[in-house]
Structure 1
Amino acid sequence: MKQLLVLFTGGTIGSKKQGAGIDVDQSGTYSLIDVYLNSTRQRDDSILHTIQPLNLLSENMTTDDWIVLAEAIRGVDTALYDGLVITHGSDTLAYSAAMLSYLFANSSIPIVLTASNYPLEDERSNGLRNFSNAIDFIADAGLPGVFVVYEDDQGNAHVYLGTRITQAVSFTDQFGSPYGVPYGTMENGAFSWLEHGRNPTPEALLQPAAQSSLVWEPTSLRLDSNVVYIKPYPGLNYSYYDFSLNRPKAVLHDLHHSGTACAIAEGPYSLPQFIAYCIKLGIDVYICPIRDQSDSLYSSSLRLIEAGAIVIEKLSVEAALTKLMLAYGLYGDKAEAKAFAIGSSLYYEHNEAFNHI
């Protein structure tokens, strides 16, 4: 029999409609188990155990909550279980998946996050199917590491590596992945790996030395939220970012799809001028995403680099932001934090090509 531990954190999958709104509900959380056990999706070869480290809507998630969740996972005797399922809200699922991937890159068992687009009692909900597919993935694939299982609006159940899922978009609630390449799919209870040059093989995931493990202890784990994330748009006025009194440790500046942002020489709309301002205050400025820094870049991208921006290449913004929070929490020295952020590889966060034999 497969022994699985379900960790509830709240979110829509553990919510109920309450009046005019939707909110987390203690009974709503555990009703997921009842619904599953009374459905045709129940597996006869699996036994579910449960704990609830958190109970909140995921939009309210903070770095402190990540630490609580990480401590709960670290406290699990993995020798007793074939895998962990983490129910989570969809709003910040991609960020949590990336953070847990870094912290548990060397997990010996599957850790699978899943969510729901609507509360379970809503007929539009994919929550039961997502939960069932997460259990099926553990039972069928048994691959170690951190994953997300979530069904799209066409009924396709995708499996994502935890560092390679991007935030769900508005209106359709659909998650994405860099290059549009998920790790695989679930169908009729079975996992099918998507063979692609950018996907590590399942055999690679079974190699414990494939990725470097991170050494941390629950009592000393620090995740630093002193990172400001800025998204570019026409007319972004940097003069509103006054860090003279309260300074972040780092700024992560998003880029347009071509790896660019406003690169005029000076003025309130000038990112190079803003980068210089931050550097003068001792604030590191990172830019992301860039596919490959060695590839041909637009002149505006080069101006940002010349101004002192630090490039995080081949990572999604979600993976980059969480890695910076981890880097500046782990290291008090800025040079060490920078080296960790751009030089380490923990769990396939770099969307690079593999040479499959």
Structure 2
Amino acid sequence: MKHILLATTGGTIGSVVSEHTIDTVSGTGGTLLEQCRQQCASAQNSQFSLIEPMRLLSENLHPRVWETLIAAIEAQPMGQFDGIIVTHGTDTLAYTAAALGFYFHALNIPLLLVSSDYPLHDRRANGVGNFICAVEFIHQLGWAGVFVPYRNAGQVQQVHSGTRLACSLQLSSDFVSVQGNSLMQFDAGLFTPTVPQPAKNAYQPDNMPRLKAQFSARILMIKPYPGLNYAHFNLDNVDAVLHDLYHSGTACATQDWGAEASLAAFIQRCQARQMTVYLAPALYTADAYQSTRALMALGAVMVWNMSIEAAYVKLMLAYGNFSQEQDRRAFMERDVAGELVSVAALTS
């Protein structure tokens, strides 16, 4: 018998459709368990403790929700549980997976985030299957860490590392890990690794300070696009900037179209305020584009080998936990929870 903490937070998996409107309702945790137990013997052989720290559609999520969720989980008798399942909406799933992945990097039991592409009463929904995968993961593997089981339409069930999950594909409910490499797949009741598995506790250095559940709300994230005008950004309540990059690790560095269209000029503007500009995502290689080198020469800090979602959440934790710039940089460079893609593995 496994004892599992189930924390429901709303989302599509906790919603119903009424008059063509999808919205959250209470009591969906019990509905989910009932459907799961009808199909899964391991669920029948599990004792679930239910909590509902909040109920919201995940597009309405604020970083303070993570703090509330973490506090609710830590208020439970953690030593009594074999695993934790958190139900969550899909819109901000990748961000919450990263937040919990970083914060609970030293957790000694599995924590899995379970979502659904449709409300549970819809026959197309993958929520029950995702939940069954989470239960089986706790029963069969029991790996410590934060994971996301999710089945894309018409595909085999995948299990993703929480700190490597990317946001869903455009005009789709499908999810992938960075570079399309999930951790493992689940098919016919069995788990099969899809990438080499890290050694247990590989991401938990002895000198890692204990993190506080403090996520700075003063990180500005900017997405590049042709014609982006940096003059639109007010930096009065910003401590740091995370600038998204095109797939080749680049953004507009030229001032040919005016300073207001140049990231290079914006970096100089931020530096005048002693504000660091971080760049992500980018894969570290010996060769880099001229535009990338120009931005780094101006003092921009590249966050190598990490998804934009993980980089954003990690920066929020860095600025929420550390006051010294060198401590923030050290935290950003450390592989805390398997978020860093191995360049050696990619080039071998």
Residue in structure 1 matched with residue 329 of structure 2 by the alignment: 338
Name the SS for the 2:23 alignment partner: strand
Q: Partner amino acid for 2:334?
A: S
Residue in structure 2 matched with residue 76 of structure 1 by the alignment: 76
Q: Please give the alpha-carbon distance, in whole angstroms, between the structure 1 residues aligned to 2:59 and 2:307.
A: 20
- 1:63-212 correspondence to structure 2 within 5 Å: 63-194=63-194, 196=195, 199-201=196-198, 204-205=199-200, 209=204
Q: CA shift at 1:213, angstroms? A: 4.7
Name the SS for the 1:23 alignment partner: strand
Q: Partner amino acid for 2:283?
A: R
- Does the aligned pair in 2 maintain the 1:211–1:348 contact within 8 Å? no
Deviations, residues 288-319 of structure 1 (Å, cap 9, x unaligned): 01100x52000011111112211100110010
Q: Partner amino acid for 1:346?
A: V
Provide the alpha-carbon RMSD of the alignment. 1.8
More moved, 304-313 vs 69-78 = 69-78
Q: Please give the alpha-carbon distance, in whole angstroms, between the structure 2 residues aligned to 1:290 and 1:299.
A: 14
Deviations, residues 312-348 of structure 1 (Å, cap 9, x unaligned): 001100100000000000012333223322x222101
Structure 1, gaps ≥5 residues long: none
- Does the aligned pair in 1 maintain the 2:14–2:28 contact within 8 Å? yes
Residue in structure 2 matched with residue 281 of structure 1 by the alignment: 273
Q: Please give the alpha-carbon distance, in whole angstroms, between the structure 2 residues aligned to 1:49 and 1:175.
A: 28
Q: Please give the alpha-carbon distance, in whole angstroms, between the structure 1 residues aligned to 2:83 and 2:203.
A: 17
Q: 1:171 to 1:305 in 2, by over 3 A?
A: same
- 1:174-253 correspondence to structure 2 within 5 Å: 174-194=174-194, 196=195, 199-201=196-198, 204-205=199-200, 209=204, 213-216=208-211, 221-243=213-235, 246-253=236-243
Q: Please give the alpha-carbon distance, in whole angstroms, between the structure 2 residues aligned to 1:333 and 1:151.
A: 42
Residue in structure 2 matched with residue 321 of structure 1 by the alignment: 312
1:350 to 340, 344, 347: 340
TM-score (norm 1): 0.91
Residue in structure 1 matched with residue 299 of structure 2 by the alignment: 308
Residue in structure 2 matched with residue 4 of structure 1 by the alignment: 4
- Does the aligned pair in 1 maintain the 2:105–2:204 contact within 8 Å? no
Q: CA shift at 1:70, angstroms? A: 1.0
Q: Partner amino acid for 1:309?
A: A
Q: Please give the alpha-carbon distance, in whole angstroms, between the structure 2 residues aligned to 1:349 and 1:53.
A: 27
- Does the aligned pair in 1 maintain the 2:204–2:337 contact within 8 Å? no
Q: Please give the alpha-carbon distance, in whole angstroms, between the structure 1 residues aligned to 2:178 and 2:160.
A: 10
Matched residue count: 342
Q: Please give the alpha-carbon distance, in whole angstroms, between the structure 1 residues aligned to 2:344 and 2:110.
A: 22
Q: 1:163 to 1:179 in 2, by over 3 A?
A: same
TM-score (norm 2): 0.93
Q: 1:171 to 1:249 in 2, by over 3 A?
A: same
Name the SS for the 2:147 alignment partner: strand
Q: 1:262 to 1:206 in 2, by over 3 A?
A: closer
- Does the aligned pair in 1 maintain the 2:203–2:335 contact within 8 Å? no
Residue in structure 2 matched with residue 48 of structure 1 by the alignment: 48
Name the SS for the 2:153 alignment partner: coil
Q: 1:154 to 1:210 in 2, by over 3 A?
A: farther
Q: CA shift at 1:40, angstroms? A: 2.0
Name the SS for the 2:259 alignment partner: coil
- Does the aligned pair in 1 maintain the 2:204–2:336 contact within 8 Å? no
Name the SS for the 1:56 alignment partner: coil
Structure 2, gaps ≥5 residues long: none
Q: CA shift at 1:212, angstroms? A: 6.5
Q: Partner amino acid for 1:185?
A: Q
Name the SS for the 1:137 alignment partner: helix
Name the SS for the 2:118 alignment partner: coil
Name the SS for the 1:329 alignment partner: helix
Q: CA shift at 1:214, angstroms? A: 4.3
- Does the aligned pair in 2 maintain the 1:164–1:178 contact within 8 Å? yes
Q: Give the share of equivalent positions with the same residue, in percent.
A: 35
Q: CA shift at 1:75, angstroms? A: 2.3
Q: 1:210 to 1:336 in 2, by over 3 A?
A: closer
